[in-house]
Structures are given as structure tokens and as C-alpha cells.
Amino acid sequence: MKTIDSLGDVRGKRVLVRSDFNVPLDGSTITDDGRIRAALPTLKVMVAGGAKVVVTAHLGRPKGSPDPKYSLAPVAERLGELLGTTVTLAEDTVGESARATVEALGDGEVALLENVRFDARETSKDDAERGTLADELAALADAYVSDGFGVVHRKQASVYDVAQRLPHAAGSLVLKEIESLRKATDDPDRPYVVVLGGSKVSDKLGVIANLIGKADRLLIGGGMVFTFLAAKGYGVGSSLLEEDQVETVRGYLAEAESKGVEIVLPTDIVVASEFKADAPAETVPADAIPADKMGLDIGPESARAFAAKIADAKTVVWNGPMGVFEFPAFAEGTKAIAQALSDTAGFTIVGGGDSAAAVRILGYDEATFSHISTGGGASLEFLEGKTLPGIDVLED
């Protein structure tokens, strides 16, 4: 995979950089700028090299047409603050404003194209449709740098097709992500522990199937754990449950046992009668969840047990919170996992998405983790062993 050094002298060249700026917003206020900060190393190298930097990115899920709610204006402002320069925002993606904005760029200056998903061709399943947008993006640049790891699992115009049309390279963020995740998949130091949480077990089935043959321990929490508890014959009250996956999970439990892989489930659960921040909470045994209560976090006994299972690990991958960490009463399990990863001397990966958000929201020093991924879905698919189109296209 080519690095940005392979592009040679970029002074005066228009370099199209695909970044991932899909940040959470409260109105027009960015509540977590982690993905913007993660993009800075590559952009700074381009700026220092005198490139005319043209950044393309998406935000949210607009329906293929402009929507002010998903404008990249807040991102342009924050990016400019972090870079210490003005970042001009084009009013469109590849139209008249985009062309004029790029034409006006001086060496070492940065422009941001408006949300690429305002154009329906970006996410089209039709190769020809995506190709026409890729042609228009490519016409704005002399080279392409892929640095949005959070989208490399998508076969989209700005991720996949444009790389086929320009001299291309992987940015430093993408390279760092791939290098880190390969440490957890190719030949991990052992014990190798994987912590999985989040709401739906169906989102993690591919990871579980792939890791049963690779990990030494799988620790399961979050909303997905109730499908595991149901597979063991426990009642789960009104907790989140994917009944159609119970048999599949039961099969994974049997397979793990036969292969000597330890699957660790909570022994106690923090429950409430409602999904509300101020709902009265109580801790109950995992096999005795009241019929009228829902589980919203792993319990303190489970949190201590999970931390103990992480303590001696040489490699740890964590993807998905243990509970509804946004509500303080149900954040303790997630805090315990974050603390355990911080304390271990092993190589630790926080697998993007809600896990990365939890680390920052709960106030942990990011430097205490070996790697915090910027791509939840992309990191999951990597762990599943899938081919990622946005990576595959870079490997000449």
C-alpha cells in the first residue's frame, strides 16, 4: 500500500483527501471532535508540503440531496481552528462553487467540499453512477489520499471509485488503523482478550464467528448480552433481545466450549423499569432479571470479573459499551472496562464508534490506550476478516 511519500513533491498540486468527519452534533455544536483531530497529521503534512488541499467528507445520512442539518459548516470552522488557518467551505460537492473554491486555492491552503452524501451518486449501488461522481471529483485534483478509515468498508464514489482515477496513497490515519488492527488479527500476543458490547448481537455475529478460533477470551456485555443469557435459558425481562438469534448464539457457546475459548458473561445486571436517566436502578443476578425490568448495565461483580480477565492480557480489543453509558447510573460497567484497558500493560485497541465516544465522554486520557479507532463499522469488518473495498483499491 502506497504512502503519501509516494506522491513525491506535492507543492502546487491539488490533492483530494477523503477524511471522515462524521462527528456528533448538538444542533450546530460538535460534541466530539475526535475524528477531526485524527485527520490532522495527514492534512498538516499536505499543508507543509505546499499542496492545494481539497478535503471531501460526509456527515450523517442525508437522503442524497442537500440538507442544512448535515452541512459541514461546523466541521470547516473547527478544522480551521485546529489547523490554525482558514478552511474554505464550498457550497456544493462538485458543482460551480466547488470548482471555483479549488481554483482559488493557493499552495498550502485548505478547502472543504460540502457533504459528499448530498449527492446521491456517492452511495449508489450502480458502478456507472458512482463513476460519474468519481470523474467529477477526480477533475478537481491531481492526486488522491484515502484517510477516512471510518468509510473504507464502503464501496462509495469518494472512497473506492476515485482512487481508480488518480495517483493514490493511504494517509497516516488509515495506515495506523490497519497496522494496529493487524496486531490483533494476524499474530496477536497472548492472552488475547476481546470485549464486545453494544446493543445488537446481530451486529457482532461475524466478529464472534471469526474470533472464536483466534481469541482466548470473549467478554460479552451491553444490550447484546441478553441474547446470550436467553440462549442459556435465563429470563431477561423487558431487556433488549433478538429472539431470532438465540439459536445461533447457543451454537457459538457450544463451539467456544469445544475449542477451549472462554466466553465470559455477566453474573449480575443493573436493571430499571424504564429506559430513562433517572429511572431507579437495582442490581440483580443475571439469572433472575424481573419480568418487568430491563437490563441497562453489567453489575459491579461482573465489572470486577471482567477487569480481572483483562488484567493479564497482552492484546485487548474492545468494541461496544457495557451499558447505557450516557446515563450516569448505567455507566459504571463501561467505566470499569475503560479503566481495565488503561491499567493493563498489553496492546489495547478501542474499536471506534460508541466505545471511542465513551472513552472521551467519561474523561479518560486517550494516551493510556494503544490505539483508539475512528471506525466502528470498519474495525468490526476488519476483525471479521472481510475485505474492505476502500483498502483493497489502495493495494496496487
Cα 102 to Cα 53: distance, rounded to the nearest angstrom? 8
154 is in an annotated binding site: yes
| Per annotation, catalytic residue among 35, 155, 293, 309 | 35
Contacts of 187 (CB under 8 A, 6+ apart): none
Instruction: Dig out the grid coordinates for 51 from the structure.
Output: 499542496
Q: Does 35 appear as a known binding residue?
A: yes
Q: What's the start-to-end Cα distance of the chain, in Å?
A: 7
Q: Which of 131, 353, 375, 390 is catalytic?
A: 353
Of the candidates 374, 370, 366, 300, the residue with the CA atom closest to the CA atom of residue 336: 300
The secondary structure element, H or E, covering residue 15 is strand 14-18
* Residue 22 assigned ligand-binding role: yes
Known binding residue 18? Answer is no
**Does the annotation place 142 within a ligand binding site?**
no
Catalytic site includes residue 35: yes
Q: Flag whether 326 is marked binding.
A: yes
Concerning whether 377 is annotated as a catalytic residue, the answer is: yes
Based on the residue annotation, tell me whether 314 is a catalytic residue of this protein: no
How many residues would you count in the chain? 396
Question: Which bin fits 64, alpha (ψ -120 to 50), beta or left (φ > 0)?
Answer: left
180 is in an annotated binding site: no
Task: Report whether 327 belongs to an annotated binding site.
Answer: no
Q: Are 374 and 34 in contact (CB under 8 A)?
A: yes
The answer to whether 295 is a known ligand-binding residue is: yes
- Return the sign of the alpha-carbon dihedral for residues 318, 322, 326, 328: negative
Of 50, 64, 95, 377, catalytic: 377
Q: Which residues contact 258 (CB under 8 A, 6 or more apart)?
A: none
Nearest by Cα to 112 from 73, 164, 166: 73
Place of cell 463451539: 255
Rg (CA), the chain: 22
Active-site hit among 2, 37, 200, 314? 200
Residue 254 identity: A
Q: Catalytic residue at 121?
A: no
Long-range contacts of residues 280-288, Cβ cutoff 8 Å, at least 24 apart: 281/329, 281/330, 286/229, 286/234, 287/229, 287/232, 287/234
Is the distance from CB of 42 to CB of 367 less than 8 angstroms? no
**Does 371 appear as a known binding residue?**
no
Single-letter amino acid code for the residue at 333: G
- Residue 355 labelled as part of a binding site: yes
Residues at the annotated binding site for ATP?
Answer: 204, 295, 326, 352-355
Residues annotated as part of the active site: 35, 200, 353, 377
Residues annotated within a binding site = 20-22, 35, 58-61, 117, 154, 204, 295, 326, 352-355
Binding residues for substrate: 20-22, 35, 58-61, 117, 154
